[in-house]
Amino acid sequence: MKLVRYAEADLPTVHGPFRLFVYHEAADKNGASPCQEHMAIVRGPVQGKGHVLTRVHSECWTSEVMGSLKCDCREQFHVALEKIAAEGAGVLVYLRQEGRGIGLGNKIRAYALQASGADTVEANLALGFEADERSYDIAGAILRDLGVLSVRLMTNNPLKVKGLEDAGVTVVDRVSHWVGENQHNAGYLAVKRHKMGHHPDAHGPDASDPLLVLRSVPKSGKG
């Protein structure tokens, strides 16, 4: 997989100035190119730097646009930008992987199953997907293009750390990124903690923990 840096420009935001980089996947041999566009939101100097404060964030239209209270994605996005702005340098890689990689339509189908009593993992499996379908190869390619040597990763998900390391990213530290909960997302966050191994502290179990559901559930065929 090869990415092309397609566009970049400065962007004033409520969190201060950032530089926005937009990436396209390279066209295939027939000249076709996927329509998905991924981004890096950058503050300060990061090229050739190590220990860069970094968030790898997957798109969540329902939360970030509609203000859904079913998850904590919008809050995680804005808190990450606040932390980067406070530090004066850092990267937020924004991946178009809605619904942990199953897409918006299937995410809404999963919501319907959740309304009938399934949790987020059970709903994905019932639709024929893995509990988490995301890949971090694109994030790795973006960080390499930006010249980032190593990252301090804002995440509660040890499997995201492993995914980035598998994509060639040196993760020197995992920075806790818990943003609190409400009555609508408390169950969702409990599943993150107890079934997917997410931890609010920086020293929770690592991705080799055999109790993590993503390593213990049988793989399902894609629906």
Whether the pLDDT of residue 103 is over 60: the answer is yes
Q: Look at strands 90-95 and 37-43 and give their pairing.
A: antiparallel
For residue 148, what pLDDT is reported?
98
User: Residue 128, by phi and psi: left (phi above 0), alpha (psi -120 to 50) or beta?
Assistant: left
Whether the pLDDT of residue 33 is over 80: the answer is no
Q: 26-30, 68-72, 81-85, 190-194 — which one is most confidently predicted on average?
A: 81-85
Q: Which residue has the tokens 């004033």?
A: 12
36 pLDDT tier (thresholds 50, 70, 90): confident
The model's pLDDT over 140-192, given as tens digits with 9 standing for 90+, comes to 999 999 999 999 999 988 888 989 999 999 999 999 887 777 666 555 556 55
Q: Token digits for 49?
A: 């730097």
Alpha helices in 2-103 (DSSP H): 61-64, 73-87, 98-101
For residue 207, what pLDDT is reported?
37
Higher per-residue pLDDT: 107 or 215: 107
Residues 6+ apart with CB under 8 A from 125: 131, 217, 220
For residue 215, what pLDDT is reported?
30
For residue 147, what pLDDT is reported?
97
169-174: list long-range contacts, CB under 8 Å, 24+ apart. Answer: 169/136, 169/139, 169/140, 169/143, 170/50, 172/50, 172/51, 173/51, 173/202, 174/202
SS3 of 204, please? Answer: coil
Q: Token digits for 152?
A: 């301090």
The single residue of 43, 55, 109, 134 carrying the catalytic annotation is 134
Q: Is 132 a catalytic residue?
A: yes
Of the ranges 39-43, 94-98, 147-151, 176-180, which one carries the lowest mean pLDDT score? 176-180
For residue 92, what pLDDT is reported?
98
Q: What percent of the chain has pLDDT over 70?
A: 75
Return the amino acid letter for 144: R
Can you list the domains of the chain with their CATH numbers? 47-216 (3.40.50.10990)
Higher per-residue pLDDT: 110 or 23: 23
The single residue of 109, 132, 152, 174 carrying the catalytic annotation is 132
Mean pLDDT of 18-25: 94
Return the amino acid letter for 55: R
Mean pLDDT of 13-39: 81
